[in-house]
Amino acid sequence: MTDVTRSLADKQSADDAKFPPAASVADLFQPVRLGSIDLANRIVMAPMTRSRAGPGDIATPLMADYYAQRAAAGLIVTEGTQPSAAGKGYCRTPGIASPAQQEGWRATVKSVMPKAGASHSN
């Protein structure tokens, strides 16, 4: 074994000690506790801004359907939600500042929760 090969082998051993073995695909479907949230499985849906908000930057029934269809994911991190008009990054993104915007998100969350999904808005 050359010095370079030995060095690479030592580095691999150190990396193996830092990172646990990869989970099997079957593990994805096992329940897990994430902080204070109990998840039905280990599948997390990443945020993807869909640009589907309606007039007034209100979450729409289309958005509620979109998230409800994916409610089997262990955790859904919803698209970016503007906290105020000043925080709006681009058009057709949902807000959460006004009562109408909050009601739009409330309808979206209500469509997901009966299907045992967990949701977090970023």
Reported as a single tens digit per residue, the pLDDT across 17-57 is 565 666 677 888 999 888 888 888 999 888 887 789 999 99
Tokens read off for 65: 């359907």
The residue behind tokens 């269809």 is: 69
Q: Is a pLDDT exceeding 60 seen at residue 58?
A: yes
Distance of CA 42 to the CA centre of its chain: 11
Query: pLDDT-based confidence at 102, cuts 50/70/90?
Result: very high
DSSP label at 19? S
Q: d(Cα 27, Cα 31) in Å, to the nearest integer?
A: 9
For residue 112, the surrounding DSSP H or E stretch is: helix 99-112
Reported as a single tens digit per residue, the pLDDT across 3-21 is 655 665 666 666 665 656 6
